């Protein structure tokens, strides 16, 4: 959460997050993605686990302290789902440059089917727009069953989010999005009270 609060302008989310165990499937294009999912889980009062590559766990061992599991430990993730927890997966399997959704690996669908839980597709963009610091936007789609086409739903949500941001003034929050954390303020925002006083 500290990384989000100290670096991001304001994370915003649109969509409802249901209760109960789920596989959360999100595109992966920024350093903040795992932090955002952890913060969302904390906000919802939900225990969560995030599947992370072995390479990243070795590079960032602290991830284990915040609920990270090695990506190949699907059986352990399945056990956690059956205990009522969330499991977060980046189904592209690696970090991609911001753009269209990459091809998906089958882990999210396999887990959800085995555990008998829904998949919650979440499109995410972290971008520098009209402020000094990057902003994060999460578009939460309605949950889907493991038999539905995750790639179609998540890819469509990502295109929708890109369209929303493209058509919103860079210093405005898109309609329907709510702030979930008061993040870092740009210099001009911090100086505004002083400017008003001088004026």
Over residues 20-72, the pLDDT tens digits come to 999 999 999 988 888 899 888 988 999 989 998 877 777 777 777 666 888 88
Distances (CA, A) of 12 to 108, 133, 171: 24, 14, 13
Check pLDDT > 90 for residue 158. Answer: yes
More confident residue, 87 or 193: 87
Q: CA–CA separation, 73 vs 59, rounded Å? A: 18
Mean pLDDT of the chain: 87
Torsion of CA 155, 47, 80, 37, to 10 degrees: 20
- By the 8 A CB rule, do 27 and 90 touch? yes
Q: What is the pLDDT of residues 100-112, one digit of tens each?
A: 999 999 999 999 9
**Strand stretches in 133-197, DSSP E:** 135-140, 178-179
| Residue with the two structure tokens 């898109």 | 174
| Domain locations along the chain | 2-198
Tell me the CA end-to-end span of the chain in Å, nearest whole number.
37
Check pLDDT > 80 for residue 7. Answer: no
pTM of the model: 0.87
With b for 16 or more beta-carbon neighbours within 10 A and e for fewer, the 30-46 pattern comes to bebbbbbbbbbbeeeeb
């Amino acid at each position: 959460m500290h990384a989000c609060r100290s670096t991001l302008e304001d994370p915003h989310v649109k969509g409802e997050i249901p209760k109960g165990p789920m596989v959360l499937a999100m595109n992966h294009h920024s350093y903040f993605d795992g932090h955002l999912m952890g913060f969302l889980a904390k906000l919802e009062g939900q225990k969560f686990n995030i599947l992370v590559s072995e390479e990243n766990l070795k590079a960032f061992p602290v991830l284990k302290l915040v609920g990270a599991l090695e990506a190949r430990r699907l059986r352990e993730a399945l056990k956690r789902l059956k205990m009522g927890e969330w499991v977060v997966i980046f189904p592209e399997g690696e970090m991609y440059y911001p753009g269209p959704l990459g091809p998906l690996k089958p882990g999210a669908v396999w887990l959800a089917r085995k555990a008998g839980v829904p998949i919650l597709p979440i499109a995410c963009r972290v971008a520098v727009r009209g402020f000094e610091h990057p902003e994060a936007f999460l578009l939460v789609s309605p949950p889907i069953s493991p038999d539905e086409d995750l790639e179609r739903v998540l890819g469509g949500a990502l295109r929708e989010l890109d369209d929303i941001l493209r058509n919103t003034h860079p210093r405005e929050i898109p309609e329907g999005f709510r702030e979930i954390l008061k993040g870092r303020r740009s210099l001009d925002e911090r100086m505004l009270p002083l400017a008003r006083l001088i004026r």
